[in-house]
Structure 1
Amino acid sequence: MFDPVISGLPAFASFFATGIVLLGVFFALYVLITPYNELQLIRAGNEAAAVSLGGAVIGFALPLAVSVAVSHNLYAMVGWGVVAGIVQLLVFAVARIALPRINESIPQGRMASGIFLALLSIAVGILNAGCIA
């Protein structure tokens, strides 16, 4: 009854661990490229920073999950993870160009900016996930 589950545990563990590492690397890079310290802002109760960062993480995790589902290959998963990370970093760069004051809005706690950035990240993440073959 549990034999297929048990035999699949090593693959699950390797994909899950790799996904967590990729998520951690993306998280660190994203926090590094933003001109404000999201973690400090979140600790201070800044909801716009929390929503914005959460959207970027979801926008990255969606294509990563799809890459696991369609590839069943760790190398392909890592490759798609790198692509997804680059895409999400570009989303932030484009948002900064389109809304130059977003660098001030997020630290000031303006939810409209946080929500917009989160939804943009999630929308692009969904599109990115749908393009993985």
Structure 2
Amino acid sequence: MSRFKDEAQGMPSQRQLRVGELLRKELSDILSRGDVRDPVLETHVITVPEVRVAPDLKHATVLVMPLGGVDADKVVDALGRHRKYLRGQVARRMTMKYMPDLHFRLDTRFDDDDRITQLLHRPEVARDLDDDDDEDGAEN
């Protein structure tokens, strides 16, 4: 049995979470200042809601979302083109033995939340949920 129960279950370690948060803060700062000279990135406000770091701290997946979701694919492509520059800028601001390679992905969690909300408000699901409430009320 592993001493590190959370890692065995796929949960990130405290170190992964801490490094991810530091990377998120530095990348957000770099992108908000407009340090990257790219026409796509200069015309969009980009948020970095989360950075997921691999257990060996060699790779980091950066979840990004342009404000309003406009031109999301173009923004992710532009960030991918400038990932070495961004990695170098972050490396100057952080003191780590190895700087993780950055991989940019679109954050679709909000879209997933909206889709689930719409599914829960469908008449068939609402009817099933009402039936469950009626059964609970009859038992009490």
Q: TM-score range by the shorter chain?
A: 0.3 to 0.5
Larger radius of gyration: 2
Larger RCO, structures 1/2 (Cα 8 Å, 6+ apart): 1
TM-score between the two structures when normalised by the length of structure 1: 0.33
TM-score between the two structures when normalised by the length of structure 2: 0.32
